[in-house]
């Protein structure tokens, strides 16, 4: 609020409001729209900015702030995040879509989307990342869907869950997609072959070895475009927010890239940032409603 005289500030009650505001600002030719919130708020704003030349500024104020961490934007200091915006360095990064809904960091079909669907907003605000863990335990006992993944070049894989990464990070500090870059026009895809607790054990083992793709029950590849078909309607998430339930999901690159205000060099190491995030939970000192700043 010390800098409130520099911006026109808008509070939103829903993601749809954030999308409509951002789209209006982009059509008006605003050079920068800043989103204050978590990955869900960012995704809503990005949906409004997609296809425009308006740059996105990020003030991380959510539970995970995965996209901010990916770009090296401080996730534990709004003051430092504002300094990044003031520096004015713009990067153009890849933007993808799932059934025409834009996302910038990650997407999931099946297990992780089921966890998000199961996690209530109130529990997430109370417990933070632990809320997802509790939901995961419940979802692990359910019968998984059977999926087929078909890439643009004809590759076919079968599994029970699919994760797609435009960046390397997932769920905060986990470098799940170790070969990913948001500059290469490619999605990194992990297909899980096993369900239940074997999925979790293999995932943890793979991360410990240096890559989840090293687990025997996963397949990891890169592609420009893919379609996921399921034997039943399953949840789909984009940037950590539930998109809906579908039997078929098509992933492809957007026609234009996203312009983002980001530091030239990351402002903290992932390890340091992770430790600080743990020590500061639950967050103190400020409330974090979804706010778009023009």
Q: Tell me the per-residue pLDDT of 95-110, one tens digit each, with 9 for 90 and over.
A: 999 999 999 999 999 9
* Nearest alpha carbon to residue 164 among 208, 104, 206, 217: 104
Distances (CA, A) of 187 to 94, 106, 133: 9, 9, 26
Does 56 have pLDDT greater than 90? yes
What per-residue confidence (pLDDT) applies to 270?
A: 46
Does 206 have pLDDT greater than 80? no
Residue ranges of alpha helices (H) inside the chain are 15-27, 39-49, 66-71, 78-87, 111-118, 121-127, 130-140, 196-209, 270-279
Q: Is 252 left (phi over 0), alpha (psi -120 to 50) or beta?
A: beta
Report residue 287 as tokens.
Answer: 């409330």
Mean pLDDT of 100-127: 85
Looking at domain 97-253, its CATH class is mainly beta
Confidence category of residue 2, pLDDT binned at 50, 70, 90: confident
What per-residue confidence (pLDDT) applies to 22?
A: 97
Mean pLDDT of 61-78: 90
Phi, psi of 196 (to 5 degrees): 65, -150
* Nearest alpha carbon to residue 86 among 8, 6, 21: 6
Q: How far apart are CA 12 and CA 143, in angstroms?
A: 37
What per-residue confidence (pLDDT) applies to 281?
A: 46
Q: How far apart are CA 70 and CA 216, in angstroms?
A: 27
Mean pLDDT of 173-202: 85
Domain boundaries, the chain: 4-95+256-293, 97-253
Does 282 have pLDDT greater than 70? no
* Owner of token pair 């995970």: 64
What per-residue confidence (pLDDT) applies to 267?
A: 56
Cis peptide before 31 (omega within 30 of 0): no
- Of the two residues 7 and 54, the one the predictor is more confident about is 54
% of the chain residues with pLDDT over 90: 59
Mean pLDDT of 52-77: 92
Range scoring the smallest mean pLDDT among 180-184, 209-213, 216-220: 209-213
What per-residue confidence (pLDDT) applies to 116?
A: 83
Q: Do domains 4-95+256-293 and 97-253 have the same CATH topology?
A: no
Q: How far apart are CA 113 and CA 238, in angstroms?
A: 9
| 246-267 confidence digits (pLDDT tens) | 999 999 999 999 999 999 876 5
* Nearest alpha carbon to residue 146 among 170, 111, 113: 111
| End-to-end Cα, the chain, rounded Å | 14
- Of the two residues 240 and 132, the one the predictor is more confident about is 240
Does domain 4-95+256-293 sit in CATH 3.40.50.300? no
DSSP-derived secondary structure for 6-24: GS-EEE-SSHHHHHHHHHH
Report residue 86 as tokens.
Answer: 């003031």
Does 131 have pLDDT greater than 80? no
% of the chain residues with pLDDT over 70: 82
Does 208 have pLDDT greater than 90? no
């Amino acid at each position: 609020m010390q800098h409130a005289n520099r911006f026109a500030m808008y509070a939103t009650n829903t993601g749809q409001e954030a999308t409509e505001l951002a789209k209006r600002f982009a059509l008006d030719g605003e050079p920068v729209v800043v989103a204050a919130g978590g990955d869900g708020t960012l995704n809503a704003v990005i949906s409004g900015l997609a296809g425009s030349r308006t740059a996105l500024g990020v003030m991380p104020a959510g539970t995970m702030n995965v996209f901010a961490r990916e770009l090296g934007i401080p996730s534990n200091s709004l003051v430092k995040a504002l300094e990044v915006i003031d520096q004015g360095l713009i990067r153009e990064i890849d933007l993808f879509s799932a059934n025409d809904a834009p996302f910038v960091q990650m997407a999931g079909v099946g297990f992780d989307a089921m966890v998000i669907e199961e996690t209530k907003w109130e529990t997430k605000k109370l417990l933070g990342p632990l809320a997802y863990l509790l939901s995961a335990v419940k979802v692990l006992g359910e019968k998984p869907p059977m999926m087929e993944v078909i890439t643009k070049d004809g590759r076919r894989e079968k599994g029970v869950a699919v994760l797609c990464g435009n960046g390397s990070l997932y769920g905060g500090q986990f470098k799940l997609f170790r070969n990913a870059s948001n500059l290469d026009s490619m999605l990194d895809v992990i297909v899980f072959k096993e369900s239940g607790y074997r999925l979790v054990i293999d995932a943890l083992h793979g991360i410990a070895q240096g890559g989840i793709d090293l687990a025997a029950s996963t397949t990891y590849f890169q592609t420009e475009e893919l379609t996921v078909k399921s034997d039943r309607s399953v949840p789909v998430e984009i940037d950590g927010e539930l998109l809906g339930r579908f039997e078929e999901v098509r992933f492809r690159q957007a026609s234009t890239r996203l312009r983002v205000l980001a530091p030239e060099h990351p402002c903290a190491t992932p390890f340091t940032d992770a430790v600080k995030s743990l020590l500061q939970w639950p967050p103190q000192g400020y409330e974090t409603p979804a706010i778009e700043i023009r």
